[in-house]
Amino acid sequence: MPPTPLSRTARALAAASALALTAAGCSSDGDDQERDVAVVVDDERCEANADLGTLTYVTGYHYQASVTQLEVMSAEALGYFDAVCLDIEIQPGNGDVMGNAQLVSAGTAHFTPTSNEAEILQAHERDHDIIGVATYGHVPISSLLTGPDVEDLTELEGQTLGHQSMLPAPLEAMLTEAGVDIDSIDQVEAGYDPSVLPRDQVQALAGFRSNEPHQLDAMGENYTEWLPEEFGVVGSFGVMAVNPEWAGENPEAVEDFLRATGRAFDHCADNGEECVAHAEELDEAGYDTEHNLAVWESESELVGSSTPEDRPRGHIDLSLTEEEAGTLVDVGELEEVPDLEPLFDPQYLEAVHTAAEIVWADDQ
The contacts of residue 218 (CB under 8 Å, 6+ apart) are 291
Residues 263 and 304 in one domain: yes
Residues 122 and 264 in one domain: yes
Structural domain for 186, as ranges? 142-231
Q: Single out the residue of 223, 256, 211, 273 nearest to residue 8, CA to CA.
A: 256
Residues 107 and 153 in one domain: no
Q: Single out the residue of 169, 133, 139 nearest to residue 316, CA to CA.
A: 133
Residues 149 and 100 in one domain: no
- Residue 151: CB atoms within 10 Å: 9
Residues 109 and 81 in one domain: yes
Angle between helices 117-125 and 169-177 (to 10 degrees): 100
Q: Single out the residue of 261, 301, 229 nearest to residue 77, CA to CA.
A: 261
Q: What pLDDT does 21 receive?
A: 38
Q: What pLDDT does 156 receive?
A: 98
Q: Are strands 160-163 and 204-208 parallel, antiparallel or unpaired?
A: parallel
The contacts of residue 111 (CB under 8 Å, 6+ apart) are 55, 56, 57, 58, 72, 104, 240, 241, 242, 257
Q: What pLDDT does 341 receive?
A: 97
Residues 193 and 334 in one domain: no
Q: What pLDDT does 362 receive?
A: 59
Residues 113 and 188 in one domain: no
Q: What pLDDT does 192 receive?
A: 81
pLDDT digits (tens, 9 = 90+) for 220-229: 999 999 999 9
List of the chain residues with pLDDT < 70: 1-36, 362-364
Q: Single out the residue of 312, 306, 344 nearest to residue 325, CA to CA.
A: 344
Q: For residue 148, what is the domain's CATH number?
A: 3.40.190.10
pLDDT digits (tens, 9 = 90+) for 257-290: 999 999 999 999 999 999 999 999 999 888 999 9
- Which of 231, 246, 276 is the last residue before a domain boundary? 231
Residues 62 and 117 in one domain: yes
- Which of 231, 261, 290 is the last residue before a domain boundary? 231
- Which of 192, 212, 231 is the last residue before a domain boundary? 231
Spatial distance between the Cα atoms of 65 and 291, rounded to a whole number of angstroms: 9
Residues 356 and 334 in one domain: yes
Residues 100 and 20 in one domain: yes
Q: What pLDDT does 363 receive?
A: 53
Q: What pLDDT does 18 receive?
A: 36
Residues 182 and 118 in one domain: no
What pTM was computed for the model?
A: 0.82
pLDDT digits (tens, 9 = 90+) for 5-64: 333 333 333 333 333 333 433 444 434 434 457 999 999 999 999 999 999 999 999 999
Spatial distance between the Cα atoms of 90 and 106, rounded to a whole number of angstroms: 17
Alpha helices (runs of H) in the chain, residue ranges in sequence order: 5-16, 43-51, 70-77, 80-83, 97-106, 117-125, 169-177, 212-219, 244-249, 251-270, 272-282, 289-306, 318-330, 347-350
Number of structural domains (the chain) is: 2
Q: What pLDDT does 28 receive?
A: 40
Residues 121 and 260 in one domain: yes
